[in-house]
Structure 1
Amino acid sequence: MFALRLIAVCTLLPSLASAASPVAPILCAPKQEMRQKLTQQFASTQIAAGIRDRESVMEVWSSVSTGDWTMVVTYTDGNSCIVAMGQDWFDLRPVPDQDPA
C-alpha cells in the first residue's frame, strides 16, 4: 500500500524538485494543492506541526485507516514539500484519564 501511495504522489504532484541531498527527490507543490492531495486522496489529517525556522513549518500528516504518515515542510513562499513518508505511524503520547462525570 505504501509503495502505491508513493507512486501516486510522485505522479500527481506536478513539480518535482531535486533535494540538496543526492539520496532522494523532494516532492513540492503549492500549500493548498498539497493539503488537498493529502486530505482527499490519501485520507490524511494533520496531527502535528512545529516551527522549524523563520521561513518554514514542519507538519506531520497521518492516515488513521492506513497508518501511513507524511512529513511536510511548508515555506513562507506558499509552497509545501514532502520530505519523508512511511508506514505504521503510532502516537506515543499518554492518553489523558477520562472524567467519568
Structure 2
Amino acid sequence: MRLRLTLVVLGLATPGLAQTPIAEMICGAHDEIVTRLTKGQRATLVGMGVRGPDAVMEIWQAADGDWTLVQSYANGQSCILAMGSDWADLGVPAEG
C-alpha cells in the first residue's frame, strides 16, 4: 500500500511530458533553414528581435497560420526552437 501511495504521489508531482510537433531542435546553416521554411513551409519572415550580442530571434509564418520560432546566431547557424499553429498578428500598439 505504501509503495502504491508513493507511486501515485510521484505521478502527481511529476509534470506530464508536453506534446509538441518538434521533438528536438533542428539546427543548420541559416541559408538551409531559410530554404526549408520558404520552400517547404511556404513561410515568410514576419518578425524578429535581438536576443543578445550573438543571437536574433525570428518568427516565420505560413499562409495557413503555422508559425516557426528560429534563433539565428552570428556564426551563421540557426536553430528551429518551436513550431505551432494559429498565429495571430496583434500589430504594434498605438502610442499614447
* TM-score normalised by L of structure 2: 0.70
Shift of 1:38: 0.2
Question: C-alpha separation between the residues in 1 aligned to 2:25 and 2:40?
Answer: 19
Tell me if 1:39 matches 2:55.
no
Tell me if 1:29 matches 2:21.
no
Question: C-alpha separation between the residues in 2 aligned to 1:87 and 1:71?
Answer: 11
Q: What are structure 2's unaligned runs of at least 5 residues?
A: 1-20
Deviation beyond 6 Å, 4+ runs, structure 1: none
* TM-score normalised by L of structure 1: 0.67
Matches within 5 A, 1:82-97: 82-93=80-91
Question: C-alpha separation between the residues in 1 aligned to 2:81 and 2:45?
Answer: 15
Higher Cα Rg, which structure: 2
Percent identity of the aligned residues? Answer: 40
Shift of 1:57: 0.2
Shift of 1:25: 2.0
Higher RCO (CA 8 Å, separation ≥ 6 residues): 2
Tell me if 1:68 matches 2:69.
no
Shift of 1:32: 0.2
Q: CA RMSD in A?
A: 2.0
Give deviations 1:39-98, integer Å, cap 9, x for gaps. Answer: 01100000000000001000000001x21000000001100000110000011116x9xx
Residue 49 of structure 2 aligns with an amino acid whose one-letter code is G
